[in-house]
Structure 1
Amino acid sequence: MSGLPVPVIIDCDTGVDDALALLLAVRHPGLDLRAVTCVAGNTDVDGVVRNTLTVLEVAGAGDVPVGRGAERPLIERARSARHVHGEDGMGDIGGLPVPRRAAADVDAIALLRREILASPRPVTLIPTAPLTNIALLLRTHPEVVRNIERIVFMGGAVATGNATPVAEFNVWHDPEAAAVLLTAGVPITMYGLDVFQRVVVPGADIRRLRASTDPGTRLAGELLAHRPSAPDPDGDDPSGGLGDAGAVCAVIDPEGIGTRLLPVEVSLAPGPTRGQTIVDRRARPGEAEIHEGGRQQAMVHVALDVDVERYVKLYLETVERTD
């Protein structure tokens, strides 16, 4: 990455790995974090706001505005992931400071509109959460598209889901919102489970982070320790998954992922496929298209490969910065 810092806005449901993403975005000199907006997902939206403010404060972010967003999906009821992220959404690691400032005096949608249109250069949106806020923004204020460079979202899966056998949590939580996102009319990169689950930090590095005297670096270590990853999550020296932070890595260093521009649609029907991101990797149309006409699917840059060592190195070098 070179030249001026990239203006970015993160829409999140903080969340252990959303917190890892925020720590990276705050500390990387190539990013200009203009705002953070919050949505219900990993925990309730008020918990997300609290966690976000805490992480920004620990990371030394200054007065980055934080907006409180949707309390629930467009249609579905809210369904948290506290069984993964703990009762407080931050792994119940304890000892976290109470934030000293409050959320912005405008809601997340108004904040998104304000910061996107006010940016002197087009903004990159990084949603790492259910896409409710983004869908509401696009439907309420379509004029923002003229100043959005691209959207790099953590969500979806080509192969296997985690919320269901075929659906990833963020998309499954609000499938209609994800379908709206795909109509944004700007370049979209899908950083899905196919790469999300591969980027893990070795246990030795996590121990070093946890021993740091810098609060932000130490917090990154504690959060990674809460996210033990395969192959030996219960061993003496477990690695920790970067999760959502990989989507921020993909903005900082897009050459670290291998993508293909592919047709994608979201399954909205009730039943076991609801929330699935259907990615068409076929070389030619099938019988359905031949006999029934082509479907109008969104074209998305789908991440299919990732340079794990490159992104782990990028993350560690950034969160250990104290200048």
Structure 2
Amino acid sequence: MNGHPQPPVPVIIDCDTGVDDALALLFAVRHPGIDLRAITCVAGNTDVDGVVRNTLTVLEQAGAPDIPVARGAERPLVEPARSARHVHGGDGMGDLGLPAPTRTPADVDAVTLLRREILASPRPVTLVPTAPLTNIALLLRTHPEVTGNIERIVFMGGAVEIGNATPVAEFNVWHDPEAAAILLTAGVPITMYGLDVFRRVVVPGPLVRRLRADPDAGTRLAGELLAHRPSAPDGDPGDSEAGGLGDAGAICTVADPAGLTTRLLPVEVALAPGPTRGQTIVDRRARPGESEIHGEDRETALVDVALDVDVSRFVKLYLSTVGR
């Protein structure tokens, strides 16, 4: 080690700004190790125009520099859009009554902005999708040359064990399973930050209250967003304000990869109609089974799957960054 600090990681976030995407953006614009080069928006938690508005609002509240924000796909590749307003509120971001943003989006679409920023980056970009993967699939199919300047894709999506949109499927992958299948075969290193770790990173109520009382607008917004989203209603009944970091854990992983335990495993997305559609099937077997022995060939990809997370490390990292 030569003792010189590492240059910040060039990052592009693709999001459907609801409560926890907003938490991720607040972290990304304040962490010195992250150079947030662009943000692209896709339908998911709310409609795409709402996502654009929410994203610009968060940047404004955080006092962020002028980061280009582009509008992307308004629906999945095959299916109609299906929002998660019952979780994220009517405006998709907790109905906090924030003022309308004065910032405006870029005059190009998301795929154009993604291509431009990835190819223009002097160092390979880390792409962090925290949303349905429609924009990323469109990018990879339209401009496959971008993969040459992508270091890694860290996506919030999927689940090894239990889903939330269905018993086995997580919302982002379930919302656009075809797009997720395209992502997995992008030919670049991929980290899957799935529900197994996503659900575990919870900020205790007393720390949330401290954020809500902070004089800084961005820090205070983080507290309001966490309080909107009680993370464990069946957990500690005396800690009603505890809130999950959710998507923000994926961007914490970029800043501090050692906080996450991953294993390189074959993953495929179930695309057939029915109860398994959108499931991420993660193969943790020690040896091949009869299906492989009998020559059934399925398209799987090797993915760094998150299996464990250092909760207190990520909570500390998040609070020290957003509450600077």
Question: What is the 5 A alignment of 1:228-267?
Answer: 228-230=230-232, 231-232=234-235, 235-267=238-270
Indicate if the aligned counterparts of 1:209 and 1:220 stay in contact, CA closer than 8 A. Answer: yes
Question: What is the 5 A alignment of 1:157-172?
Answer: 157-172=159-174
Match of 1:139 in 2: 141
5+ residue gaps, structure 2, are none
Matches of 1:320 and 1:106, distance apart in 2: 33
CA drift of 1:239 comes to 1.0
5+ residue gaps, structure 1, are none
Match of 2:204 in 1: 202
Matches of 1:209 and 1:295, distance apart in 2: 48
Is residue 114 from structure 1 mapped to residue 136 from structure 2 by the alignment?
no
Q: Name the SS for the 1:47 alignment partner.
A: helix
1:24 pairs with 23, 27, 33, which one?
27
Identity %: 81
CA drift of 1:238 comes to 3.1
CA drift of 1:295 comes to 3.4
Query: Which amino acid is 1:265 matched to?
Result: E
CA drift of 1:233 comes to 6.6
Q: Name the SS for the 1:177 alignment partner.
A: helix
Aligned residues: 320
Q: Name the SS for the 1:113 alignment partner.
A: helix
Query: Which amino acid is 1:101 matched to?
Result: R
Match of 1:177 in 2: 179
Match of 2:216 in 1: 214
Query: Which amino acid is 2:176 matched to?
Result: D
| 1:43-91 Cα shifts (integer Å, max 9, x gaps) | 0000000000000111111110000000000000000000000000111
Matches of 1:164 and 1:295, distance apart in 2: 23
Q: Name the SS for the 2:294 alignment partner.
A: helix
Q: Name the SS for the 1:116 alignment partner.
A: helix
Match of 2:58 in 1: 55
Match of 1:5 in 2: 8
Q: Name the SS for the 2:51 alignment partner.
A: helix
Q: Name the SS for the 1:246 alignment partner.
A: helix
Q: Name the SS for the 2:308 alignment partner.
A: strand
Match of 2:99 in 1: 97
Q: Name the SS for the 1:292 alignment partner.
A: coil
Is residue 272 from structure 1 mapped to residue 290 from structure 2 by the alignment?
no
Matches of 2:239 and 2:145, distance apart in 1: 52
Query: Which amino acid is 2:263 matched to?
Result: R
Q: Do the aligned partners of residues 215 and 148 (structure 1) sit closer, same or farther apart at CA in structure 2, a change above 3 Å counting?
A: same
CA drift of 1:168 comes to 0.0
Indicate if the aligned counterparts of 1:16 and 1:223 stay in contact, CA closer than 8 A. Answer: yes
Matches of 1:41 and 1:273, distance apart in 2: 20
2:17 pairs with 9, 14, 19, which one?
14
1:38 pairs with 35, 38, 41, which one?
41
1:65 pairs with 64, 68, 88, which one?
68
CA drift of 1:291 comes to 1.2
Indicate if the aligned counterparts of 2:204 and 2:239 stay in contact, CA closer than 8 A. Answer: no
CA drift of 1:97 comes to 2.0
Query: Which amino acid is 1:300 matched to?
Result: V
Q: Name the SS for the 2:285 alignment partner.
A: coil
**RMSD of Structure 2 on Structure 1 (CA):** 1.2
2:195 pairs with 187, 190, 193, which one?
193
CA drift of 1:292 comes to 2.5
Query: Which amino acid is 1:150 matched to?
Result: R
Matches of 1:228 and 1:279, distance apart in 2: 29
Matches of 1:287 and 1:66, distance apart in 2: 48
Query: Which amino acid is 1:47 matched to?
Result: G
Match of 1:292 in 2: 295
Query: Which amino acid is 1:64 matched to?
Result: I
Indicate if the aligned counterparts of 2:10 and 2:121 stay in contact, CA closer than 8 A. Answer: yes
Indicate if the aligned counterparts of 1:204 and 1:237 stay in contact, CA closer than 8 A. Answer: no
CA drift of 1:101 comes to 1.5
Q: TM-score, normalised by structure 1?
A: 0.97
